[in-house]
Amino acid sequence: MRAGTLELLGSRDDAWLDEPLPFWGSTGNRHFMWFHVFKYEINHRGQLRLLRRHQPGLQQSGRTGRSECRGRSRRH
């Protein structure tokens, strides 16, 4: 998670998260919105990791170019 996001969320209270806001023609709150941001981010990272594992030459390279194994054994 980026430092700016942590700083922003750390400076807010629960009332800010629960404040009703317009959302896709309905009403939502920031808690609902941030939950979905995190959920989809995790999902897309998993999809990208899966695709990388099936591309020749990219098995060990992550987004930063470093190994994503970090000491874990890899199954092929």
Within a domain: residue 66?
A: no
Contact by Cβ (8 Å): 69, 60 = yes
Q: What is the pTM of this model?
A: 0.51
Q: How many domains does the chain have?
A: 1
The Cβ-side half-sphere exposure at 56, using a 13 Å CA radius, reads 0
Within a domain: residue 58?
A: no
Predicted confidence (pLDDT) per residue in 9-68, tens digit: 899 999 999 999 998 889 999 988 888 888 888 889 888 888 888 888 766 555 555 454
How many residues can be counted in the chain?
Answer: 76
Within a domain: residue 70?
A: no
